Structure 1
């Protein structure tokens, strides 16, 4: 195929679906993966009709340790290779660490951390060989500020993705592979509906803190094209990230302790 292929995880809605449309609008074929096959097929059909590119629906569950291999096998079955990888799949796990099960926490780590590292590791050599590649790791503003009570591993995994992306960025400066961590704040998507905090965040957070999924994905696309290692979309989020850098640690942690119940479910 003359066109390059972009693989997007968590593509059935929100930021993932927005990334799929943006990449398709720039001439990429897209491989869409998530658990909901009906959503993927509908989006693939829309993209083919709207943008005139190929779109493949590859249903898979990245909480399954075999999920990454299943996704890549779906790409290979189409005779394709991955030129762009958007690691977007993710969710929040409400509750404190002690009151949640290890089975749930283990699945969370598989989706949020292990599958990201595995996918990146398996597609990166081909990108380097072809002297072209783009990897976007959808992290979060939560990875740039102190952790909050509840959703215990969320900020930890997002902070990992920031450091991971920075290292990959530096390792590949001369290879033609661009790597960026996208760190959005509160984004209009299904994220808070799925984790049961929609009413909580809608009532307690001002509208100016929120961005649309399309705006977030557009910022991520621009950042990885420019090979910026970290992208924080939106002026309010940039301000919060900057303040978190300069505040003394104990002040920042106290602030998070005071405000965390506005957006975390303990």
Structure 2
């Protein structure tokens, strides 16, 4: 992997994004880190520059102009992106109607449109070079029945999974691997941002993985060319149950436990 180009990681300021950046640095891949919080990016970059070259480009992907600007800025710096990690994301807690439309529109821009646009912008040079890796961070929530609350989250992640799987088939003969990374409960700032930390912390420890392990599994999967990576045995069982259980039983199970990890008020 060293020498093949830079890894662009969005949402790299914390959590799984920061862990994926650390994993690529461990593998010798130079980095372009992007997120809204420049101070957090610079702090992470300072810890990684002893291993690889690191560039920081702050951007807010809720801005529809951000994907194009990010591509242009990377071009102005003379960098080639051979690894794209679409990781930026968050959750909107509560019922669908408890938030104004602008909140949902921004969410969809970050979680769906920016993922598709960044991929569309950075994929052509990968295909031209005959080598590329695209790791789209989805979620177990995109594979199991929907629950009340965080209404668009599972739907957005289901899109990312299907998008990645289709793209993986299109690019397989062109040297580009595309993977949907589907973690379950992961120790990160995600639950602090959406206000669910106290509630999800009551869930049993065996449901959780740390972000570094999720990152290692995801990067290994995209290097192998796996179209989908569900992290951890427990999560693979849950995904399997939701697939093979009768739909009514799977939905009832999710409904019964959803308040442990979703705010539906």
TM-score scaled by length of structure 1 = 0.97
Residue number in structure 1 paired with 2:60: 61
Residues 102-127 of structure 1 show CA distances to partners (whole Å, capped at 9, x for unaligned) of 10000000000000000000111110
Pair 2,225 (structure 1): closer, same or farther in 2 beyond 3 Å: closer
Instruction: Find out whether 1:39 has 2:40 as its counterpart.
Output: yes
Report the Cα distance in structure 2 between the residues aligned to 1:75 and 1:41, rounded to whole angstroms. Answer: 17
How does 1:6-155 map onto structure 2 within 5 Å? 6-49=7-50, 51=51, 53-155=52-154
Q: Counterpart of 1:211 in 2: which secondary structure?
A: strand
TM-score scaled by length of structure 2 = 0.97
Q: Is the 8 A contact 1:19 1:218 kept in 2?
A: yes
Residues 54-83 of structure 1 show CA distances to partners (whole Å, capped at 9, x for unaligned) of 100100100010111222122112101210
Report the Cα distance in structure 2 between the residues aligned to 1:263 and 1:74, rounded to whole angstroms. Answer: 38
Which one of the candidate residues 206, 209, 214 is aligned to 2:207? 209
In structure 1, the gaps of 5 or more residues are none
Q: Is the 8 A contact 1:3 1:29 kept in 2?
A: no
Question: C-alpha displacement at 1:3, in angstroms?
Answer: 4.8
The ranges of structure 1 where at least 4 consecutive aligned residues each deviate by more than 4 angstroms after the TM superposition are none
Report the Cα distance in structure 2 between the residues aligned to 1:195 and 1:36, rounded to whole angstroms. Answer: 17
In structure 2, the gaps of 5 or more residues are none
Report the Cα distance in structure 1 between the residues aligned to 2:69 and 2:12, rounded to whole angstroms. Answer: 16
